[in-house]
Each structure stands twice: as C-alpha cells, then as structure tokens.
Amino acid sequence: MSSPAFGDYVFTTLSRARNSADGSPLSLQQTSDVAAYLRSSGSGQTLSPASRSIYPRLCKPRLLNSP
C-alpha cells in the first residue's frame, strides 16, 4: 500500500476547516496557500535545536509526578 502524497494529506485534513471570521469552508485557494506554506523551507522550524533539547527536561518531572 503506497502512502498518500503530502498534498493529498493537507487537502484531506483541511477539507473540513472553516474560516474563523464567518464560519464558511476554506476555499481551494486558501487550502492551496496553506499547503504551499507547509511545503516552504522553514515552516515548522521555529525552535532552535538548543530549545528543543530543553523540552524533555521540563516535561520529565511533570510526567513522573502525574498520576
């Protein structure tokens, strides 16, 4: 079984998305704009490697103390 293309995943995921202003479904252009942004270099890369390594140290004590 082949995996779906990234674009297919984005369009399927956003097929039920709505505009926050008026509640209307996203247009094909808006969905395409989101897909283009997600494909662009740097999208999702807001944390530096140093800040990513801090996350486990912050969460580990909380996870150990949670019921």
| pLDDT at residue 50 in the model | 55
Give the range of the structural domain holding residue 35, as residue numbers without chain letter: 6-65
Number of domains in the chain: 1
- pTM: predicted TM-score of the whole model, two decimal places: 0.55
Residue 15 lies in a domain: yes
The string of DSSP letters for the chain reads: -PPPPHHHHHHHHGGG-B-TTT-PBPPHHHHHHHHHHHHSTTTT--S-HHHHHHHHHHHHHHHHH--
Residue 1 lies in a domain: no
50 or 9, which is more confident: 9
User: Please, what is the average pLDDT of the chain?
Assistant: 78
Q: Which token pair is 40?
A: 């662009």
Residue 23 lies in a domain: yes
| pLDDT at residue 2 in the model | 54
Give backbone dihedrals phi and psi of 56, rounded to 5 degrees, phi first.
Answer: -60, -35
**Per-residue pLDDT tens for 24-41?**
999 999 999 988 888 887
Which among 50, 55, 15 is positioned nearest to 34, based on CA atoms?
15
| pLDDT at residue 53 in the model | 61
| pLDDT at residue 27 in the model | 93
